[in-house]
A and B are shown apart, each in its own frame.
Chain A
Amino acid sequence: MAIQILLNFLIACIWMFLQSDTSTAAFLTGYFLGLLIIFAMRRAFSRRYYVYNIFAAFSLLAIFIKELLLANLSVLKVVLAPKIKASPGIFAYETNLEKPWEITVLSNLITLTPGTLVVEVSDDNKILYIHAMDMDDADKAREDIRNSFEKAIMEVSR
């Protein structure tokens, strides 16, 4: 993915020099042409066309903002409830992600979402220990994490 972005920058720069025009407009024109050229040559790269990854990153950002709002609303509900009914606890979550940055992003997302908090990562980076505000929802939380965050992060790094 990084190779494709660099190549696109290089194409844009070559375009600027060919035009003898170093303005932003010339750069953007060259960048757009580079996008088309790389799209045409996309089978020559080992990774997929990088614009998909950029869209995936934006959708991850959208998921993050949505979950952040929901998280704070649900905490508001717990705080304002007359009786504390929640039963806190810690559960393990096995992740399929491997790279350190993926695990970091996943645990930061888990921490910022409703009722869950990453306490510890196991030494082999396979299991996240998550503190849940309400243990009754642990299975549901596990499913949510697997279906929304982990999927979205995998989509970005694919």
Chain B
Amino acid sequence: MRRTNRKTNDVILQTTVQTVFFIIVIYSVHLFFSGHYTPGGGFIGGLMTSSAIVLLLLAFDVKTAASILPVNYLYVTAFGLLAAIGTGIGSLLYGMPFLKHWHGPVHIPFLGEIELATATLFDFGVYLVVVGVTMTIIQTIGETE
């Protein structure tokens, strides 16, 4: 069968993606923050976020998705690695061993006392690296003709 490049009308797919995208993204953020006490964490959260972006890529084309999210994913990966290393070096400043993490109650205006842990920052680094690497792989493969 000859392959035709006729573009079909994707109105149903595109409109659905426009609403579903936000649900997936907020779910991925929920997964990211639930990692400490319940199943979830930076890895699965990052994968879920990049799956939302992949859905954008599927519904629209590579150029449109790049104009919606003008992000260089290589920088995202680098920044994630920096965040992870930064939390490790931060403990050195306090005379603790490398990657020694701290947690404790912090008073935040409007929210009150909240238990915060620096492990979350490390997890955020993991999150960014996963998003960056997944999107770099998919974009690189997608752009080659």
Residues of A at under 8 Å CB distance from B?
A: 100-101, 103-104, 107-108, 118, 120-123, 125
Contact = CB atoms under 8 A, between A and B. Distances in A.
B118 interface: no
A41 to B, nearest CB: 31
Contacts of A107: 12
A119 to B, nearest CB: 10
B16 interface: yes
A118 B12 CA distance: 10
Give the interface centre of A107, A108, A121 by most chain B CB atoms within 10 Å.
A121
A107 to B, nearest CB: 5
23 contacts: A100-B11, A100-B14, A100-B15, A101-B15, A103-B11, A103-B12, A103-B15, A104-B11, A104-B12, A104-B15, A104-B16, A107-B12, A108-B12, A118-B12, A120-B8, A120-B9, A121-B9, A121-B11, A121-B12, A122-B9, A123-B9, A125-B9, A125-B11
B111 to A, nearest CB: 14
Nearest to B8: A120
Give the interface centre of B8, B14, B15 by most chain A CB atoms within 10 Å.
B15
Interface in B2-42: 8-9, 11-12, 14-16
Contacts of A120: 8-9
A104 B16 CA distance: 7
SS class, residues of chain B in contact with chain A: helix
Contacts, number: 23
Given A100-B11, A100-B15, A103-B12, 16 more contacts: A100-B14, A101-B15, A103-B11, A103-B15, A104-B11, A104-B15, A104-B16, A108-B12, A118-B12, A120-B8, A120-B9, A121-B9, A121-B11, A122-B9, A123-B9, A125-B9
Interface of B: 8-9, 11-12, 14-16
A100 B16 CA distance: 10
A149 to B, nearest CB: 15
Contacts of A125: 9, 11
Contacts of A121: 9, 11-12
A97 to B, nearest CB: 11
B127 to A, nearest CB: 31
A35 to B, nearest CB: 27
Contacts of B11: 100, 103-104, 121, 125
A122 B7 CA distance: 11
A125 B9 CA distance: 8
Nearest to A108: B12
Contacts of B9: 120-123, 125
A129 to B, nearest CB: 10
A121 B16 CA distance: 14
Nearest to A104: B15
Contacts of A101: 15
